[in-house]
Every structure is written in structure tokens, then in C-alpha cells.
Amino acid sequence: MKKRLSLPLQSPDDLERLQSYPVKLMQHQEEAVHQLAQTINHIIADSSITALMLEEIAQLLGVTFKVDCCCLVTVTSEDGGEATVANWCSPEYLGMPHPSEMFSIEQLMMDLPVVQCAAEPLTIEDISTIQNSLVVGCQYLPLPIKAVLAIPTRFGGKNNGVVCLIHFQPYDWNESEKRLLKQVEPSCAIAFSQVLQAQLIATQNQSLQKTNHHQSLIKQLTILSRTNLELNQMLQLAIASTAESLQVDRGLLILLKYTDPLFRIQSKKQIPKAKATVAGEWNRGIPSTQTHQQDALNQSFLLADCGLCQRVFIDSGKPVLINDYTEIQENWTVAPLFAIEFLPTVLLMPLENQGKILGFLVLQQAVPRNWQLAELNLVEMVCAQVSNAIIQSQTLRQVQTVVDERTAKLKSSLELQAKLHERTRQYVEQLRELNELKDEFLSNMSDRLRYPLTNMLMSIKNLRLPGIAPERQARYLDILEQECTKEINLINDLLTLQKLESEQEAPQLETINLNSKIQELGIAFEKRLVNKGLSIAVDLPTESLTLQTELESFDRILQELLNNAYTYSEHDSAVHLQAFHRVEEQVDQVIIKVTNIGRAISEEEATYIFDKFRRGKGRWHPGTGLGLALVKSLVQHLHGAIAVESTQISDSPLSEVCFTLTLPQFSDVSKPYAESD
């Protein structure tokens, strides 16, 4: 006879809780049933945690029926539902391993036809009698299960659990035990319904949380697609959010670059020539695989080298689902960056837009996984969002390129218009200046031509008057001769300029004594200077200078320079005439400077003062504007250079104006001399 235990001692907490529900197997069956059912109902009513409730009921039944082990298992008719198991074992077997660690009660219930017993107890006095019909026989079980008394529970017309009483020795179950177990079955059924209801609520809450999480992920991706993030940043955030949401070990976003940009999925199931590049990556960092994974970001491979990616084109754009790659019979070639030997579970979903595969979204795990329909729908929606973002990015990039090109063309056009406007403005300004020059030229020439002719005409009329005195007659003849000489000189100057500009004749050279020549010109000019209160200072070297030049041109140059100094010199000032020899860059030169004190010549005036018919602004002295133009032409004819410089005199509104004439000092003048600035 087995030793009877009056108290189910498992822990102090269990002892304290069960003391509030004293149970004794009464001699009268009805009182025992009522007492046991009432105790179970109290446990159901007072238990806030359903899992602990089943454990307390299992302990209560085990103690009441004085068995070695009691097991309660929930049963659900829905596929995929998980059973809840509550085990209790007699204290004398506490030294043995816990039953849940030693054998599967669920497997035992599956092998024993308990659920099909239609609420009738199933008794086995010695399990060895049916061990040949069990997938898991007693010889394979660590615990010596010998006798079983089990009954299914029903609630709402459906089975919802199994109550199983176990002896570790053969046992003859009596009718009172069977009736008692059958009569407490409704109370146990209520307990099972409570557990299943709690499981259903928990499952619904979990499903709702997943749904909310998935909706939040889609909303987040939608917001990301509308931000100003660059495509690579958006792809990285998208794959990280998706992989974390689905709790996978690794996520990849792979983009394709086709050799033929117009390639589309065709019925022929062609494999295009394309290069695949990883644009986004996320790793959970599992230690068993982390050492074998390298940073795949920006790594690339040819589509022809990866049979896993080719399956999308072979299957006309359908996703590739692999629960465990090691179980696949086909020998696919897989790109090394997938690390398929360490991450054998793969979900590869294409990124598709209008029949074109843009790339792939890849999720991988180290352990096998059955992908749920809701998860596949989520990944499909993520791929749609990512595909739209890629197309939008490409479209925006193309639009931006077109905008940049057109902006550059517009900018170039505006710059060209600005240049044309500036050139037009310059032309208008030049035309205005030329018009002013024309008016000035016509005015000057008109005066210079008309004034002498008028004097000549008046002298001729006076000569024709009767009875004119001989002295008046001689005076009118002198006027005629003077005015005629002015006209001839003006015409000669114009002809000389025309000749110098049109013909490049070599100068007729002769050797002159420069000191003597300058002194003669200074003495001849000094008489004219006295009339204006001017003086002349001649500065010549002690040793006489000789110069090989054209005498007529040389004389005309100095006369015009001295005449210009006389015209524009301030009263009671001096004209300085200086000559000296200089060697520059192994070239002998004669330098002649004519300096006077007068109004300054601005930088603008210096640019055109040697042009024909141009005169300095504010120079109201009569003249044709041909003198300095003739000087420049004659200087160039002699292969020399002429320049002007104006220096402000301190504490005075006047300036020192210096004309510098440079002539070569050598016999061979066949080569022209460069004009100085």
C-alpha cells in the first residue's frame, strides 16, 4: 500500500494558501464532491493569476486523489494555439527532476485518445499494456508512469482541457475515483475556460499591439518619404525600423543598376545583366554570427552570381521565402555577403515599380522561422513605400538636374545679356564721345578755316577800294600773306599726318649736333616767350651729343612741344628744356624733356592727348588739335617714343607737365622702337 500524504507539501506559500481550503475525502461521496467542487470554485474566484490557479487546482486534485502526479492541460481547437500545462508531483518525488523537464505532457495527451473520450474518464492500470501503440512509450519516459486516469473537460459544447491523474506504480482505479473526477470536471472546465479566455485576451492584445506597431511603422516610413532626407539615409532608417519591428537578426536593402535601363519583367523570365549594391543594412549583433559578418554596406555583386536574387525574376516578381536554407534540396548560388550558412532563414521581397525590379528587401534569421501572413503583408507595404521613395528620389534628381541645367543656361544668358548691355552702353558712350569730337572738330576746323579766309576776303575788298593809301595797301597785303600762310600750314599738317599714317617711308637720316640744335631752338623761342612773361632754361650735357635723325622731323617735333609749353604755361613761369644720353637694355638712347608749369593733365586726358583733333578738357586756347598728333606720328616715324606726365605741385593748384621724347642713338634704325607707356 502506497503511503498516504494528508498535506501536499511543495512550498511554504502553497501550504499557507491551501490551509484556507481544507479538503478531506469524506466517507459520503456527495459531501466529498460538494467539498472538492466548492474548493475549486474558491480557487477560481480568489486567483488573480490564471497560471497559478491551474497549479493550485492540480495540487488540490493530486492531494485529494492521493496520486503521485497530477497534470492539467488546456486544449484549443484553433490552429497555432499554445497549450497551458500545470504539473504537480508528490513531495516524496521532489528529489527527482521536475516532470516538465523530463517529459512532454502535451505529447502524452496527443498519444492517448483522451480528448475523444466524450467527457468519460480514461483509465490505464498499467501503461505497459499499450506502450507498443504509443509514439512515446513508458520505456522512453524518465518517470515510471504506470497508471493514468484522465478526463477531458468541456465548456460551451467544446473540449477545453484535460485532467490527468498519474501513479508511478500499477494501480486499479475504482469507480468512486472515476465518478468523483467526472463530477468535478465542470469546475475544472470553468478553470480551463478562464485560462483560455485570458490567453485569448492576451493574444488579441498582442495582435493589436503588433497591428499598431505595424501601422506605426508604415506611418513612420510615409513620413520619412516626405522629408528632405537623402535617399541613402531614408533607406537605412527604413530597413532598421522594419528589421527591428519583425525582430529579425539582419536586414538588407539592395538596389539594382541595370546594364539595360529599360529592362522590365517579361514572360520569358529573363535574368538581366545588373549590378546589386547594398544601400541599407541593419544587424542585431548575435554573437554566433557577428564574427562571420562584415559590414555589407556599399558592397556589390553581380546578379548573375546570386541564384537567390535570380529567383525573383524566374518567379515573375514573387517574393522568396526560405524557412531554413539547409533543408532546401536545390543547389542555389548565393552571394557571400548574405552569410547564408549562419543566417539560413531568408525573406527576400522585391522592390518593384511598374514592372521593373528596383532592388530587394532582405530579412534573415539564424534560426528557422515560419513567416506569418501579416508579416508578409507588412513587408510588402514597406517595399511599396521604399519603391515609391526611390522613384521619387530619382525623379527629383532628374528634375533637379534639368533645373540646374536650365538655371545655368539662364544664368549664362543673363550674363551674356549683361555683357551685351554693357558693350552697347560702351558703344553708345563712344558714339556720344565721337559725336562730341565731331562737333568739336567741325567747330575748330570751321574757325581755323573760316577765320583766315574771312581776313583774306576783307583784305582783298579793302585793296579794291579807290584811293587807298600805299601804307594801308602794304598792311592788307601782309594780312593776306599771314592768313594764307596759316591756311597752307594747316593743310600741310593734315597732308603730313595723312602721309605718315598711310605710308611707312624710312626717315632720311643725317647726323646733327644735338647741343647746338637745341640751343638754336631755345634762342629762337626765347623771344616769343618774353611776350608772355615766360623764360626758358636749357639743360644740356657738357660733352656734345650727336644724333642720327631726320632733321626736318626733329625740328618740327621740338617746335610743337615748345609751342604747346608756351600755350599752356602759367604766366611768369619757366619752360625747362633738357637733353641727356641713357643706355637701357644695351640700347643707346637720347632723352629730351620739355617741362612747363600749368593746368594738370588728368589720366583720362593722357590716354587721348596725342589723338587727332582731340584736346584736353577745359583747354580753351584756339587750336585744331593737330599739334601733338603730328608730334606722335613724327616720333613714330623716327622709331622713337613720346610720353606725358603730370605731377601736382605741393600747396598749389598747378602741376608740372613734362613731355618726354625718347630717340634711339644708333645708326641702324631699320627696326622700330617700342613706344613707352
Give the pLDDT band of residue 671 (cuts 50, 70, 90).
very low
pLDDT of residue 27: 46
> Can you tell me the mean pLDDT for 576-602?
87
d(CA 331, CA 307): 9
Cβ–Cβ under 8 Å, residues 130 and 155: no
> Can you tell me the mean pLDDT for 152-171?
86
Please report the DSSP string for 294-323 in residue order.
Answer: ---TT-EEEGGG-HHHHHHHHTTT--EEES
Cβ–Cβ under 8 Å, residues 281 and 239: yes
Nearest to 663 by CA among 580, 586, 607: 580
Cβ–Cβ under 8 Å, residues 164 and 105: yes
| 362, pLDDT greater than 90 | yes
Nearest to 363 by CA among 234, 283, 243, 255: 243
**Would you state the cell numbers that stand for residue 9, as one nine-digit string?**
507539501
The top-scoring range by mean pLDDT among 197-206, 602-611, 623-632 is: 602-611
- Per DSSP, the three-state class of 162 is strand
Sheet containing 345-353: give its strands across.
300-302, 274-283, 250-258, 356-365, 345-353, 320-322
pLDDT of residue 410: 92
- Per DSSP, the three-state class of 144 is coil
Between 19 and 119, residue with greater pLDDT: 119
Between 394 and 108, residue with greater pLDDT: 394
Through-space distance between the first and last CA atoms of the chain, rounded to whole angstroms: 137
Least confident of 266-270, 387-391, 489-493, 616-620: 616-620
| 645, pLDDT greater than 70 | yes
Q: Which residue has the cell 501579416?
A: 374
Q: How many CA atoms within 13 Å lie on the side-chain side of 125?
A: 5
pTM of the model: 0.44
Give the pLDDT band of residue 251 (cuts 50, 70, 90).
very high
Kindly report, residue by residue over 222-245, the tens digit of the pLDDT: 666 666 667 788 788 888 888 888
pLDDT of residue 157: 80
User: Where are any strands of DSSP class E within 52-103?
Assistant: 69-74, 85-89
